[in-house]
Amino acid sequence: MGSTGAIREKKDGTIQMCIDYCQLNKLTIKNKYPLPRIDDLFDQFRGASVFSKIDLRSGYHQLRVKEADIHKTTFRTRYGHYKLLVMPFGLTNTPAAFMDLMNLVFQPFLDRFVVVFIDDILIYSETDEKHDEHLRIVLQVLREKKLYAKFSKCEFWLREPPRPVSEIQSFLGLAGYYRRFVEGFSVKAVPLTKLIRKGVPFVWTDKQ
């Protein structure tokens, strides 16, 4: 027995293992670890003028599965049965387990200059000098804890509001993933959605 496994190609050309853990998830006691409210996170950015975003490489795979639970990750292919030693995508408690790890690792810096949301790390600072210091601290923590970032998905020293329509569309796509955490998301997003309508001039104001 075991869950069904398959391989798919991601948009960036890399390969990802997809495993259907639906049956296992039905039997799993759900971890009710609270995810942060997006609007609360935004409140922390007041006064900040420079940001950096770090995306961990295959974040969940950087967390080991407990020895006693490895057999539960078993999946079957035409070549046989396999088990995962690291946390797989698709398990109901994987996001909560990883969020717990990230909060533990960055606990001294939360609400000061670091925000973590699952495998995304955002560093925010009031000045360039502080940001240089904050960025060094975060990178040193990642090195000490042997957590690895995907450089191609990281962004550093961000200041300007997004200007091209494609960037607005990309941001709305990302924000839409978290819409269940934001009351009245559609209404709040109207100033941005207006900017991507065909024939509408791009004018960035305080409303955006």
What CA–CA distances, in Å, run from 68 to 1, 26, 107? Answer: 18, 19, 28
Q: Which domains does the chain have, with CATH numbers?
A: 3-159 (3.30.70.270), 162-208 (no CATH)
Mean pLDDT in consecutive groups of 10 residues from the start of the chain, 208 residues:
76 78 89 71 80 87 90 88 89 86 94 87 93 97 93 85 53 59 69 70 61
Q: What is the pLDDT of residue 77?
A: 84
What is the model's pTM? 0.68
pLDDT at 162: 41
Exposure pattern of 9-38 as b/e (b: 16+ CB <10 Å)? Answer: eeeeeeeebebebeebeeeeeeeeeeebee
Buried/exposed code over 131-150 (b: 16+ C-beta within 10 A; e: otherwise):
beebbebbeebbeeeebebe
How high is the pLDDT of residue 88?
87
State the pLDDT at residue 113: 94
For residues 197 and 200, what is the distance between their CA atoms, to the nearest angstrom?
6
The pLDDT assigned to 123 comes to 93
